[in-house]
Amino acid sequence: MTGRLDEESYARAALTYLAEPGDLQLGALVRGHGAAPMLAAIKAGTVPDFLDSGAARAAARRAMRCWQVRLTELPSADDIAGLCRAGIRLACPGDPEWPARLDDLGAAMPYALWLRGSADLRFSCVRSVAIVGARAATAYGSYVASEFAASVAERGWTVVSGGAYGVDAAAHRGALAADGVTVAVLACGVDVPYPAGHADLLDAIAAQGVVVSEWPPGRNATRLRFLVRNRTIAALAAGTVVVEAASRSGALNSARHARDLGRPLMAVPGPITSELSAGCHTVIREWQGMLVTSAADVIEYLSPLGSAAGDPSASPSASPAAGPGTGPGTDAGALLGRDALDLEAAAVLDALPSRGGMGSLKIASRAGLDPDTVLRCLGALAAVGFAERCDQGWRLRRS
């Protein structure tokens, strides 16, 4: 979202300034009644009229005082629109770029997401794997993370991680080296280089993928915020791989979220003498995590019926035209080959330029389709490596 914000979108952006992510009480109220009424109530300092229970009103009254503390920090709609014009964009539930998987978080779902980067977040996450692990990674852990990330990226899968030192950095760099898409989910604003030593890495991720945060621009990281953002890493990805983790670690926190969300959970075994492998062994032994030793293991576990879903030339197990939930624009199924494209997606693909770029409206005119259908198809085509965004709009993806 880069234009003028509507009332609900502005309210969601405002809530990222006023409340910490993962506030279950506020999340439930927003899901039930909308962000705009909640923002109006916070500004007015009154308990919302739609709360008729005495206990609910008392709880809201207490929480309201916390949310009002930051009202002086609240930017105007024009200020937020200015941020968007400066290369940062906002994604809210219902927007084309909003990943549907986040809805599984229920009341803990982000109010909105701040994004910086060239990739479309929703369709980047259609086929994605979170690779997480220790900050103080061993040489073994960094090597495995990098190799796994590069291998899955070469097969068209997006790598999701947290932008931290150690395993996270190795995973991001592996995906970048393979010219793949990678998503960094931060515990600070997308314009804050944290850790400072990763300023160049985060810029590279933004150039080739997308940097994501639930916190507004300018907000700094804290210890608690790392734990809070881990649920978003787990929710965005189709599955999570733990490369190295101590018995008590942030990586295990991410793994726990993946398990609780019912996402496929995997772990890489390590030496029994290594404390940084103890958490991985716990995931395998006690959490029913799948033991994986290669990127092929990961893709096989995440692909329906064990098909080679990472290979764009592979025959699909089901055509996108086969029924609901498998066509362009859905998070359920990725298109795997040109012969699997339905007529609308094929028309959009034919309309894409191989050089320069073209806006979605012109593509719609060329393809003879309505703009909404074209946007859905472009996202699906991008997810499987046929299309990519550029400064001028969209084009065929370069090899």
In a domain, 232, yes or no: yes
- How confident is the model at residue 315, as a pLDDT? 32
pLDDT bracket for residue 331 (50, 70, 90)? very low
pTM above 0.95, yes or no: no
Q: 292 and 388 in one domain? A: no
**Residue 99 to residues 114, 184, 242, 305, 334: CA-CA distances in angstroms?**
13, 15, 22, 24, 14
Instruction: Give the span between the Cα atoms of 326 and 120, in whole angstroms.
Output: 19
Instruction: Provide the CATH number for the domain around residue 324.
Output: 1.10.10.10
Q: 246 and 346 in one domain? A: no
H runs (alpha helix) in 86-166: 121-124, 139-154
Mean per-residue pLDDT, 253-279: 95
Range of the domain at 242: 118-302
What backbone phi and psi angles, to 5 degrees, belong to 22? 80, 10
- State yes or no: pLDDT of 2 exceeds 60: no
In a domain, 141, yes or no: yes
Number of structural domains, the chain?
3
In a domain, 99, yes or no: no
Give the whole-number percent of the chain exceeding pLDDT 70. 88
pLDDT bracket for residue 393 (50, 70, 90)? confident
Residue type at 176? L
* Mean pLDDT over the full length of the chain: 86
Mean per-residue pLDDT, 309-321: 34
Mean per-residue pLDDT, 100-117: 96
Instruction: Give the span between the Cα atoms of 225 and 228, in whole angstroms.
Output: 5
Instruction: Provide the CATH number for the domain around residue 136.
Output: 3.40.50.450
> In this predicted model, which residue has the larger pLDDT, 383 or 319?
383
- How confident is the model at residue 121, as a pLDDT? 95
pLDDT digits (tens, 9 = 90+) for 147-195: 999 999 999 999 999 999 999 999 999 999 999 999 999 999 999 999 9
pLDDT digits (tens, 9 = 90+) for 52-66: 666 777 877 788 888
pLDDT bracket for residue 330 (50, 70, 90)? very low
